[in-house]
Amino acid sequence: MDTIPFTPRRFQTAAAHYLQGRPAYAASLFPRIARLCGLGHGHRVMDLGCGPGQIAVALAPFAGEVVGVDPEPEMLAIAAETASRAGVPVQFRQGSSYDLGPDFGRFHLVAMGRSFHWMDRVETLRRFDGMVDPGGAVVLLHDDHPKVPDNRWVKPYRDLIERYAEGDSARAMVRSPGWLSHTAVLLDSPFSRLEEIAVIERRHIPADTLVHRALSMSGTAPGRIGDNADALIAEIEVLMSEFVAGGMVAEVVTSSALIARRPDNA
């Protein structure tokens, strides 16, 4: 199976835009994850590829210890600030899926947001099998935009992003016909018993959120597109002018969690 080559600093210049740009996962999703996974204050949680720490911070109230792991120092600095503002204790550690081993200890739950596709997914799940407690789970969080009238701007916006991200081999790999879905990978892993939950919310976001969203993506991060960043911003502003009302844009976001357990955890 194809694996994207590991580039530790891929999100260095995207980090500053991530929290402002990316859709937040629905807050109501996390109590449900905790309940379904039997997460309690005696348990450890890992947020692997934690970025600026949204998942780690959101799960901290339900766990005894949370560890956020990411290869990008800029992301970890923002994550530490995020946890401090939220007043929750989270440990952050620089590293990646390629560093996983016994020194991390054991966990009841390992969560990943927009990070699993950057890893050697088969090898990562194999390592998790030696780190996740019996009865524990691997959880993949995802966000998407359902096809509803409020989201009529999403396709032209994505098309614009794709044009500026042209030549990004990692992006092309994930979008190729031969790329296996996370579900397919999980079904052939030690964590093959799957359950999915989702929350759908209508939101209104400041128009400049979509500028930050574009710049938070590795394919269109400022460090990758350089002088083209100004042109991208200008095109986003023109495109979204049709959809802005009172400085805000409506969007409907689906926040989902794919919960994967071992088949013998009945």
Whether residue 8 lies inside any domain: the answer is no
Mean pLDDT value of segment 92-104: 97
Proportion of the chain above pLDDT 90, given as a percent: 98
Q: What is the pLDDT of residue 264?
A: 80
Whether residue 61 lies inside any domain: the answer is yes
Bridge partners, 45 (sequence order): 66, 109
Q: What is the pLDDT of residue 2?
A: 83
Q: What is the pLDDT of residue 265?
A: 55
Whether residue 10 lies inside any domain: the answer is no
- CATH number for the domain including 107? 3.40.50.150
Whether residue 5 lies inside any domain: the answer is no
36, amino acid identity: L
pLDDT band at 69 (very low <50, low <70, confident <90, very high): very high
Q: How many domains does the chain have?
A: 1
Q: Give tens-digit pLDDT for 147-178.
A: 999 999 999 999 999 999 999 999 999 999 99
Whether residue 7 lies inside any domain: the answer is no
Rounded distance between C-alpha atoms, residue 119 and residue 113, angstroms: 12
Whether residue 199 lies inside any domain: the answer is yes
Q: What is the pLDDT of residue 237?
A: 98
Q: Give tens-digit pLDDT for 173-231.
A: 999 999 999 999 999 999 999 999 999 999 999 999 999 999 999 999 999 999 999 99
Q: Give tens-digit pLDDT for 14-31.
A: 999 999 999 999 999 999
Domain of residue 192, residue span: 15-261
- Statement: residue 266 has pLDDT above 60: no
Using the structure block, give the residue that is written with the tokens 């396709």: 155
Rounded distance between C-alpha atoms, residue 90 and residue 46, angstroms: 10
Return the closest-CA partner of residue 36 out of 136, 113, 129: 136
pLDDT band at 1 (very low <50, low <70, confident <90, very high): low
Here the tokens at position 163 are 């044009």
CA angle 68, 253, 183 (to 5 degrees): 60
Q: What pTM value is reported for the model?
A: 0.96
Helix (H) or strand (E) holding 258: strand 248-261
Whether residue 6 lies inside any domain: the answer is no
Query: Do 33 and 139 meet the contact criterion of CB atoms below 8 Å apart?
Result: yes
Mean pLDDT value of segment 53-66: 98
| Least confident piece of the model among 1-15, 29-43, 54-68 | 1-15
Whether residue 60 lies inside any domain: the answer is yes
Mean pLDDT value of segment 71-78: 98
Per-residue burial over 142-170, b if 16 or more Cβ lie within 10 Å, else e, is bbebeeeebbebbeebeebbeebbeebeb
